[in-house]
Structure 1
Amino acid sequence: MTSIIRIAGICGSLRRESANKKLLLRTQQLCAEHVPEARIDIIDWSQLPIFNQDLEGDPPKSVIKFKEEIGDSDAVLFATPGPLKNAIDWASRSKIGDRGDVLSGKPTAIIGAGPGTAPGSSGSGRAQLVLRQTLACLNMVAVNTPSVMLTGAYAAFKEDGSLENKKMEEKIVQLLKELVGLHNRCKI
């Protein structure tokens, strides 16, 4: 019996009605429905203080808990844009707690939603590009395709939380399967 691949879901936006939070929740549902070998645990990082290097020696409990949740995961799924830098700063510090840097070497994937509907709208494409550069510096291995960049996010969701665009849901499932495959290749 193989163990379940635990994916830490981290939403860039902390806003209650965030389109990225809705996208991450839908991705969690799609994972449960279509990718039985994995599960997404959404990590709440809203209680993290602003990163302060003076706190590394005696970090707040919220930082320790956050790092433990990521450290216990097999992979990471970021939903961006949003103020992820603060969360990444805390998670990547090697001097905090017993876990050290809990991001290095982790397989990761990125999804994102943007409000734009105009032709050429990227649906978080720019934010994803910047995040990819950061992840490379953190020694994280990212899934490159398919790209999940939801445009017109405010009108993209049905009342039940599913997406109007079923092709986008298929892309999300494919991205999750790619993340599982990347995790399996990285374990070898």
Structure 2
Amino acid sequence: MSSFKIAGICGSLRKESFNKKLILRSQQLCSEHINGATINIIDWSQLPVYNQDFECDPPQSALDFKNEIANHDAILFVTPEYNYSIPGPLKNAIDWASRPIGDRGQVFAGKAVAIIGAASSSGPGASGSGRAQLALRQPLVFLDMVPVNKPLITVTGASSAFNEDGSLINDHFEKNIVKLLQNLIKLGKQLKTKPE
């Protein structure tokens, strides 16, 4: 059975970030509960700041990142919240991959995408990266991606949301991650172009 490949893109570069824990847990849940699908976490930490002047001779790291996206069937973004918006480095990565560099064309267009996230804030008004997820949807829709809308996964109080083994204390989140991945795969297969 051919594998359905999901590109996992974590919006935080910090090694011990809550969102890094969340994407690693999502990867493990996919492996444990979904046959024929994998999440490959893409390293985009070496991307330089986007500069249109470099499009004629783009850095290899940008070409590699764009190729990684092109070689996957769908994308899972895991984003923290920064001032209620998308973290700047993540927006920078999206800018590079969306530009007409290399020979892969529009690598985002027509792809299924899902967004989840975690934030350390808790209590009334805490969104668990919900605002960042909403902000991230705007450029992804502009890039002609097709989002999975439910279930919505926004982990609040992330500093106390994980067990020592990386699993989420609240089993509700784990079940919803599996359901979201199932929905992402279903949508991705519907959108996937058949080989010529």
Residue 74 of structure 1: how far off its partner (Å): 0.4
Residue 134 of structure 1: how far off its partner (Å): 1.3
1:30-179 aligned within 5 A:
30-81=29-80, 82-83=87-88, 84-94=90-100, 96-179=101-184
User: TM-score, structure 1 length as denominator?
Assistant: 0.96
Q: Secondary structure at the match of 1:36?
A: coil
User: TM-score, structure 2 length as denominator?
Assistant: 0.92
Do the aligned partners of 1:107 and 1:143 also contact (CA within 8 Å) in 2? yes
The CA distance in 2 between the partners of 1:120 and 1:66, in whole Å, is 35
Q: Deviating runs (4+, > 4 A) in structure 1?
A: none
Aligned partner letter, 2:114: A
The CA distance in 2 between the partners of 1:45 and 1:101, in whole Å, is 18
Do the aligned partners of 2:118 and 2:158 also contact (CA within 8 Å) in 1? yes
Q: Secondary structure at the match of 2:93?
A: helix
1:29 is matched with which residue? 28
Identity of aligned residues (%): 62
Aligned partner letter, 2:95: D
Do the aligned partners of 1:92 and 1:104 also contact (CA within 8 Å) in 2? no
Residue 100 of structure 1: how far off its partner (Å): 2.0
Do the aligned partners of 1:9 and 1:76 also contact (CA within 8 Å) in 2? yes
Residue 187 of structure 1: how far off its partner (Å): 2.7
Aligned partner letter, 2:98: S
Residue 117 of structure 1: how far off its partner (Å): 1.1
Structure 1, unaligned runs of 5 or more: none
The CA distance in 2 between the partners of 1:7 and 1:66, in whole Å, is 14
Do the aligned partners of 2:76 and 2:113 also contact (CA within 8 Å) in 1? yes
Do the aligned partners of 2:112 and 2:146 also contact (CA within 8 Å) in 1? yes
Do the aligned partners of 1:67 and 1:91 also contact (CA within 8 Å) in 2? yes
Residue 156 of structure 1: how far off its partner (Å): 0.6
- Render the CA deviation track for 1:12-55: whole Å, top value 9, x for unaligned: 01011111111000000000001112100000100000001111
- Render the CA deviation track for 1:80-102: whole Å, top value 9, x for unaligned: 133311010001112x0011221
The CA distance in 1 between the partners of 2:38 and 2:170, in whole Å, is 23
Structure 2, unaligned runs of 5 or more: 81-86
The CA distance in 2 between the partners of 1:104 and 1:52, in whole Å, is 22
**Number of residues of Structure 1 aligned to a counterpart in Structure 2:** 186
Correspondence 1:9 to 2:8: yes
Aligned partner letter, 1:11: C
